Amino acid sequence: MASLSGLQLCSSSDRLDAGESLSDNQIIVSAGGNFEFGFFSPINSTSNLYAGIWYAKLSVRKIVWVANRENPVTNHPGILKISNDGNLVVLDSAGDLIWSSNITSNYSINGTQALLLYTRNLKLIHGDHDSSSIVLWQSFDFPTDTLLPNMMLWSNIKTKTAKSITSWKNEHDPFTGNFTFGIDPVFNYQFIITLRADKDNTEVQNPSIVSLNEITIKELHGR
């Protein structure tokens, strides 16, 4: 849950163009108006600001993705912008870097934009949003605690690595928590919830669970 009062729509509606910025009380909204991207503060933690995506029309706001989950903005206001090197970045009021999409782009910053899609995916693209645009980065490649439709989890048996979702530290702190959900990197046919503090403490889940429209790690674990 989060505090999201007094938000203002960015002039570009569903996108942030190079040369524009978002501050604490500004958002971009996906086509259809169902999802928003901007800054939020968890309830009971107004001193910490995070950049994230949430449902726009729920009575209780539900965050589905957080950019700077491990490094909140504490020096207000926060600023979201496309930097001169083509990255989507979060800065604090002093201009210090809090978070970056961390890409190396060979494209001009002109024509680069961050676009919030109706699918809940935030894309950093170069060019118009059509078949000719180049996707430089997307939030779907960096899930936090929620598995969304069309978002992919994977594992590599050879390297024993995996892309998974990870719980919040607690209900009011999006910092990386103790529980992960994903494909077992050892036995690739099963899905597991893992207690990060004890890698041997796992609970195997039915693979059919990924057919749900959305999975949030706190719902799987019952937090």
Say which CATH number the domain at 44 has. Answer: 2.90.10.10
Q: Do 35 and 81 have their domain in common?
A: yes
Task: Work out the pLDDT band at 222, boundaries 50, 70, 90.
Answer: very low
| Residue indicated by tokens 């870097």 | 97
3 state SS for 98-121: EEECCCCCCCCCCCEEEEECCCCC
Reply yes or no on whether the pLDDT at 183 is more than 80: yes
Q: For residue range 88-116, what is the model confidence (pLDDT) as tens digits? A: 999 999 999 999 999 998 888 899 999 99
Q: SS3 for 217?
A: helix
Q: Name the residue range of residue 31's domain.
A: 2-141
Q: Do 76 and 121 have their domain in common?
A: yes
Q: Do 62 and 160 have their domain in common?
A: no
Q: Do 33 and 106 have their domain in common?
A: yes
CA distance 60 to 76: 24
Q: Do 55 and 99 have their domain in common?
A: yes
Torsion of CA 112, 114, 115, 119, to 10 degrees: 130
Q: Do 113 and 207 have their domain in common?
A: no
Q: For residue range 168-181, what is the model confidence (pLDDT) as tens digits? A: 999 999 999 999 89
Q: Do 121 and 174 have their domain in common?
A: no
